[in-house]
Amino acid sequence: MHFFVNHSPLSIPNRVIPKNIVSLVPSQTELLFYLGLDKEVKGITKFCIHPPEWRHSKTIVGGTKKIHLETIKQLAPDLIIANKEENEQTQTEAASHIAPVWVTDIDDLHNACTMILELGAICKTIQKAEQLVLQIQQQFAQLRPIQPMLNTAYFIWNNPLMVAASNTFINAMLLQCGFKNVFENFNRYPEVTAEQIKAAQPQLILLSSEPYPFREKHVHYFQTLVPAALVLQVDGEMFSWYGSRLLKSAPYFQALIQQLQKNR
C-alpha cells in the first residue's frame, strides 16, 4: 500500500518530475540513487548509509523517528518519501504541510516491487524501475528454499529481546528462504522472554545486524539458551531493505541456505 498524506498523487502539479526530493527511508534512499536521481535528492536521514557519498553531499534532515521539519522546509521539497513503519505518523503528517508526502507500507516482495514501479512512475524513471523489478523477480524465482522448512526465530533487538513476527517484510523474506517463523502467531515486532524462546524450540536463530547490532557475545547467549539451535549473525539489510538492495538479497539467501544444508 502506498499513499499520499493529505494529498493525492495528482496534487503534484501536472505530475511533473520532482526536482527536490527528501527521503526519510534508508532503503528507498538507496533506490533513488539506483534510479539515477542524484541531482533530485536534496535531503536524507542520518540512517541513510547507502550510497555512502550521499552522507556528505546531501542535507541530513534528522533520523527516521525524529525529523527536523525546519531543515526540510528550507530545502523546499516538492516530494517527501516516508514509510508507515519507519517514520512517525505525526511527523509525516506535519511534513505534509510542507510538501506532498508519499508513504509506503511494505510487507512482502510483491508490495516492494509495486513500490519500485510506482516510484519510477512518479520520478519519470519507469524504464529503470521496470528493469530493476524484472531482475529482482528473476533472482527470487531462482531461489531454492531449504527443505524441509526450518523453525526459525529472527531477532531485531536486545534488552528487551524483540523478534520479527507476522505482518512484516522480514517474515516474508524468511518464508522465501524456507524458514518457518516460530513466532508467526505474534504480530509485528513483539517482545519475547527467554522462557518463550525456549518453549518455541527454534532450530535456527538469526541475529540481525540492524537495528540492533548483535555481536558474538549474543551468539553465545542464545546458544546457551537453546543448545539445540544453530545461531547465526546475518545481514539485516538483506532481510529488511525493500528497494534496490533486493538485487543482493536472493543471492545472499541462497548462500545462507547452502551453508545451512552443509550443517545438516
User: Is the domain of 125 the same as that of 178?
Assistant: no
Q: Are residues 149 and 259 in the same domain?
A: yes
**Cα 116-137-55 angle, rounded to 5 deg:** 40
For 155, the 3-state DSSP assignment is: strand
Residue 243 near residue 34, CB atoms below 8 Å: yes
CB atoms within 10 A of CB 259: 11
- Residue 8 confidence (pLDDT): 41
Contact of 191 with 162, CB cutoff 8 Å: yes
Q: 168 and 108 share a domain?
A: no
Domain end among 124, 139, 154 = 139
> Residues 178, 114: one domain?
no
Low-confidence ranges of the chain (pLDDT < 70): 1-16, 264
Residue 196 structural domain:
144-263
Final residue before a domain boundary, out of 139, 172, 189: 139
Residue 234 CA to residue 161 CA, distance in Å, equals 16
CA–CA distance, 138 with 226 (Å, rounded to integer): 37
Residues 21 and 37 sit within 8 Å (Cβ to Cβ): yes
Structural domains in the chain (count): 2
Do 19 and 123 lie in one domain? The reply is yes
The last residue of a domain, from among 139, 170, 185: 139
Polymer length of the chain = 264
Asked whether residue 13 falls in the same domain as residue 127, the answer is yes
pLDDT score of 263: 75
Residue 241 per-residue DSSP state: -
One domain, residues 192 and 111: no
Asked whether 226 and 201 are in contact (CB, 8 A), the reply is: yes
Nearest CA to 245 out of 24, 5, 17, 31 is that of 31
Residues 129, 150: one domain?
A: no
We report the CATH number of the domain holding residue 48 as 3.40.50.1980
Q: Looking at the structure, tell me whether residues 7 and 121 fall in a common domain.
A: yes
Q: H helices within the chain, ranges in order?
A: 26-34, 54-57, 69-74, 89-95, 109-122, 126-142, 169-177, 194-200, 216-225, 236-240, 246-263
Dihedral of the CA atoms 69, 71, 76, 82 (nearest 10)?
-50
Same domain, 118 and 153: no
Same domain, 148 and 118: no
Per-residue pLDDT reduced to its tens digit, 177-232: 999 999 999 999 999 999 999 999 999 999 999 999 999 999 999 999 999 999 99
